[in-house]
Amino acid sequence: MNTEVCEITCIVCPTGCKVRVVREGSKVIEVSGNTCKRGETYASQEAVAPQRTLTTSVKVTEGDFALVSVKSATLVPKARLFDLMKAVQKLWVAAPIRIGDIVVHDVLGLGIDLVATRTVRKTGE
Amino acid sequence: MKTEYDLIVIGGGPAGLAAATAAYDQGLRDILIVERDRFLGGILNQCIHTGFGLQEFREELTGPEYAQRFVDKTLEDGIPFFLDTMVLAVRPDRTIVAISPELGRLELHAKAIVLSMGCRERTRAAIMVPGTRPAGVMTAGTAQRYMNVEGYLPGRNIVILGSGDIGLIMARRFTLEGARVNAVLEIMPYSTGLTRNIVQCLDDYGIPLLLNHTVTSVHGGKRVTGVSVAQVDDHRRPVPGTEREIACDTLITSVGLVPENELSKIAGVQLDPITGGAVVNQRLQTSVPGIFACGNVLQVHDLVDNVSEESQRAGRSAALYVQDKLPQTLRNIRVVPSPGIHYVVPQCVDVTEQTETIKLFMRPSDVFKGAFVELRTDSREEPLARFRRSRLTPGEMVVLTVQGTVFAAVEADISVGVKVS
């Protein structure tokens, strides 16, 4: 099988290393240019099947904030980000919500939970 | 009502909370935080994306999560705070005048004050973009607040002027919410945003970054209908013949941050014309005794982690000042930028009996590859210290950790410059 070279800018930290990944189909053969282990993991994944953490917000009823900010508890396949957003935009959740609470279980059956990244109190509490 | 405090911290954002909690850890108990918004945590509340805390907590957090760590510590320590309270004046004698709907007009006094008011975005008016004045022109931070705190989508067809980090983050945020981002324009030949943000906010969604481009005119009556954009030359002047119109309903500006030092000026604090913030020593002491400054009101940081670290030092220093435990200053050395470096904070170093490691924060004035940042003094041929950096860019702050012996050994000013190897 032919090998393919991917030039990837690492987004794990602000350093932004230029990482070179050599792959054969979905098999990573060589990673170079990274300056840490996390960069290697990221670039290997990115070359084969890109994933991102999704952060967005969900509308809240009766909260001291109009929205609760959320993040995906696990990485989301990049190609599914917009599907997830469409599903999340329709949602309403009721206050109170505590930071770390799972706001939505298993969105779209992808096995991904959305976790609150802020506490929203019930109005008047 | 209580009016006397050991320490009053102005601003309950990341800087203020880090300063207050660090002062508490240093043994101070009589502390007050004054915050003008209706919640603690400041701008982090609207920065719902990840990327915070890698240095401070060794994990990647969102803005609200990062803020919560410091809010929790503040609550655990039982440090009192006033919300919805706006400080109107800080006097050189450390009297503070503030106002709040609940408490009315307040006149408070403190033995020490930490200034941690943060910064403000430059606006369209500040960069004088010509054209009409319709609704739909706003700063990236304003759009971020609408979308992430208040729950409104402020536009559907967007052009972003300026490629600072907030602009890049908002390009992604608008796109995810279903709006169309036509382009991000940058007048400089490089982006001032972090590379990772260009990758994950623009490249991921195919949003073009047009370097050497600017908005030459805003169109529209009640609402923005479009903007004229043009390429610029080396002097940042529009190149005739390159102008074209992009239809849009919203122009977002992300064109820089300015430390918000109105109160510092009233207090008589000496400001650095380049940073727009106070002139400080390594203990974050300003020119007014007992007044300290930290966070984005002192210098605009790239990373909140650096804000926390700097502010903890300010809080500790303020506590030591109140406790009368700060070491005696033997002499004062100025740290001045020389070619290649735009500014250095702290602007001066107090040499004492203790030799302490000192962190110097600076911004390069241009892009350099494979360069050394050198500390020099007039009386010596060789640099006092040199630090190799593979890449320097104005968009990324440089932090040098300098051994205290370097400062102990010199009598005159130290200059910090770039030498390309």
The interface predicted TM-score (ipTM) is: 0.93
Report CB contact under 8 Å: A66, B151.
Answer: yes
Topology of domain B4-120+258-326 in CATH is FAD/NAD(P)-binding domain (3.50.50)
Residue A19 belongs to domain spanning: 3-49
Report CB contact under 8 Å: B200, A53.
Answer: no
Q: Is the pLDDT of residue A1 over 90?
A: no
Residue A91 included in any domain: yes
What average pLDDT does range B370-376 have in this prediction? 95
Q: Is B148 on the interface with A (CB under 8 A)?
A: yes
- The pLDDT value recorded for residue A15 is 79
Is residue B354 within 8 A of residue B373, CB to CB? The reply is no
B156 backbone dihedrals φ, ψ, rounded to 5°: -120, -20
| pTM score of the predicted model | 0.94
Instruction: Count CB neighbours of A4 within 10 A.
Output: 12
Report CB contact under 8 Å: B62, A11.
Answer: no
Shortest alpha-carbon distance between residue B44 and chain A (Å): 11
Calculate the alpha carbon distances from B13 to B18, B135, B169, B261 in Å.
Answer: 8, 29, 20, 15
Q: Report chain B residues whose CB lies below 8 A from the CB of A16.
A: 194-196, 199
Query: Do residues A37 and A76 share a domain?
Result: no
Report CB contact under 8 Å: B48, A55.
Answer: yes
Q: Is A69 on the interface with B (CB under 8 A)?
A: yes
Both structure tokens of A123? 């109005």
Domain count of chain A?
2
Shortest alpha-carbon distance between residue A13 and chain B (Å): 7
What average pLDDT does range B192-215 have in this prediction? 94
Calculate the alpha carbon distances from B49 to A72, A84, B60, B74, B375 in Å.
Answer: 11, 16, 10, 23, 37
Topology of domain B123-255 in CATH is FAD/NAD(P)-binding domain (3.50.50)
Q: Is the sign of the CA dihedral B40, B43, B46, B52 positive or negative?
A: negative
Q: Report chain A residues whose CB lies below 8 A from the CB of B148.
A: 57, 67, 69
- The pLDDT value recorded for residue B393 is 87
* Confidence band of A100 (pLDDT split at 50, 70, 90): very high
Q: Is the pLDDT of residue A53 over 90?
A: yes
What's the rounded Cα separation, in Å, for the pair B67 and B41? Answer: 5
**For B36-59, how does the pLDDT look when each residue is reduced to its tens digit (9 = 90+)?**
999 999 999 999 999 999 889 999
Q: Is the pLDDT of residue A117 over 70?
A: yes
Report CB contact under 8 Å: A118, B50.
Answer: no
Picking from B65, B178, B204, the nearest residue to A99 by CB comes out as B65
Q: Is the pLDDT of residue B193 over 80?
A: yes
* Confidence band of B396 (pLDDT split at 50, 70, 90): confident
What's the rounded Cα separation, in Å, for the pair B176 and B353? Answer: 56
Q: Is the pLDDT of residue B341 over 90?
A: yes
Picking from A16, A66, A81, the nearest residue to B196 by CB comes out as A16
Report CB contact under 8 Å: A11, B196.
Answer: yes
Q: Is the pLDDT of residue B10 over 70?
A: yes
- The pLDDT value recorded for residue B78 is 98
Report CB contact under 8 Å: B45, A14.
Answer: no
What's the rounded Cα separation, in Å, for the pair B149 and B421? Answer: 48
Residue A78 included in any domain: yes
What's the rounded Cα separation, in Å, for the pair B392 and B373? Answer: 9
Mutate to test the interface with A, among B39, B44, B46, B48 (most CBs of A within 10 A): B48
Q: Which has more pLDDT, B387 or B396?
A: B387
Report CB contact under 8 Å: B148, A57.
Answer: yes
* Confidence band of A20 (pLDDT split at 50, 70, 90): very high
Q: Is A124 on the interface with B (CB under 8 A)?
A: no
Which residue is closest to B203 within chain A, CA to CA? A9
Both structure tokens of B293? 């400054």
Q: Is B342 on the interface with A (CB under 8 A)?
A: no
Q: Is the pLDDT of residue B3 over 90?
A: yes
Query: Do residues A83 and A104 share a domain?
Result: yes
Task: Give the closest residue to B169 by CA, choosing from B58, B50, B295.
Answer: B50
Q: Is the pLDDT of residue B320 over 90?
A: yes
Q: Is the pLDDT of residue A14 over 80?
A: no
Which residue is closest to A50 within chain B, CA to CA? B204
Residue A105 included in any domain: yes
- The pLDDT value recorded for residue B390 is 87
CATH number assigned to the domain comprising residue A70: 3.10.530.10
Q: Is the pLDDT of residue B409 over 90?
A: no
What's the rounded Cα separation, in Å, for the pair B232 and B229? Answer: 10
Query: Do residues A41 and A59 share a domain?
Result: no
Mutate to test the interface with A, among B152, B168, B196 (most CBs of A within 10 A): B196
What's the rounded Cα separation, in Å, for the pair B117 and B15? Answer: 8
Q: Is the pLDDT of residue A125 over 80?
A: no
Same fold, B4-120+258-326 and B123-255: yes
Residue A17 included in any domain: yes
Report CB contact under 8 Å: A11, B148.
Answer: no
What's the rounded Cα separation, in Å, for the pair A98 and A116? Answer: 7
Mean pLDDT over the full length of chain B: 96
Which residue is closest to A116 within chain B, CA to CA? B65
User: Domains of chain B: which residue ranges?
Assistant: 4-120+258-326, 123-255, 334-420
Query: Do residues A10 and A42 share a domain?
Result: yes
Mean pLDDT over the full length of chain A: 93
Q: Lowest-confidence range among A11-20, B17-26, B181-190, B262-271?
A: A11-20
Is residue B275 within 8 A of residue B343, CB to CB? The reply is yes
- The pLDDT value recorded for residue B395 is 79
DSSP code per residue over A50-61: -EE--EEEEEEE
Query: Do residues A85 and A66 share a domain?
Result: yes
Report CB contact under 8 Å: B176, A81.
Answer: yes
**For A61-86, how does the pLDDT look when each residue is reduced to its tens digit (9 = 90+)?**
999 999 999 999 999 999 999 999 99
**Helical ranges in B102-194 per DSSP H:** 124-127, 140-145, 165-176
Q: Is A78 on the interface with B (CB under 8 A)?
A: yes
Which residue is closest to A65 within chain B, CA to CA? B149
Query: Do residues A109 and A59 share a domain?
Result: yes
Q: Is the pLDDT of residue B420 over 70?
A: yes
Query: Do residues A61 and A30 share a domain?
Result: no
Topology of domain B334-420 in CATH is Immunoglobulin-like (2.60.40)
Percent of chain B with pLDDT over 90: 90
What average pLDDT does range B152-167 have in this prediction? 96
Picking from A78, A85, A118, the nearest residue to B68 by CB comes out as A118
Residue A125 included in any domain: no
Q: Lowest-confidence range among A37-46, B168-177, B190-199, B296-305?
A: B190-199
- The pLDDT value recorded for residue B93 is 97
What's the rounded Cα separation, in Å, for the pair A27 and A43? Answer: 12
Q: Is the pLDDT of residue B158 over 90?
A: yes
